[in-house]
Amino acid sequence: MANGTSVVSKGPLRAQWQGLYSHVFPFSCTMDVGSLADGAGETNTVAVPGVALGDLVEVAGNISIASATVTAWVSATDVVSIRFQNESGAGPLDLASMTIKGIAKRPNWV
């Protein structure tokens, strides 16, 4: 497992979400996921200061991740976990090093 590196966080933002979220934490990092056998996955972590359990997370990468699923969540205070899962049904998947951009959002109703 290779943890995310080169984290950039702009801190909490709010105005663009028109009051739906009390805090917004944009971040980016570089990840290099190892070769994944069919049905296998890898979870990496990224330090994102300020995030908390219950925050929502969305991520996108700068390479094609066809045949893979990507799931992101806050796994602990100040930590976002990102899981890559090979669901190709066609053997190993070797993703290139990528830049991940993400956003964690704290809903006002939590």
pTM of the model: 0.81
pLDDT category, 1, cuts 50, 70, 90?
Answer: very low
Residue 77: which domain range? 5-107
Note the pLDDT of residue 14: 54
The three-point CA angle 72-76-78 to 5° equals: 90
> Measured between alpha carbons, how far apart are the two ends of the chain, in Å?
32
Number of domains in the chain: 1
Query: pLDDT for 51-82, tens place per residue?
Result: 999 999 999 988 887 788 999 999 999 999 99
CATH code: domain of residue 77? 2.70.40
Q: Concatenated DSSP letters for the chain?
A: ----EEEEE---B-GGGTTSEEEEEEEEEEE-PPPB-TT-EEEEEEE-TT--TT-EEEEEESS--TTEEEEEEEEETTEEEEEEEE--SSS-B-PPPEEEEEEEEEETT-
Is-contact 94 35, C-beta < 8 A? yes
For residue 5, the cross-strand partners are 30
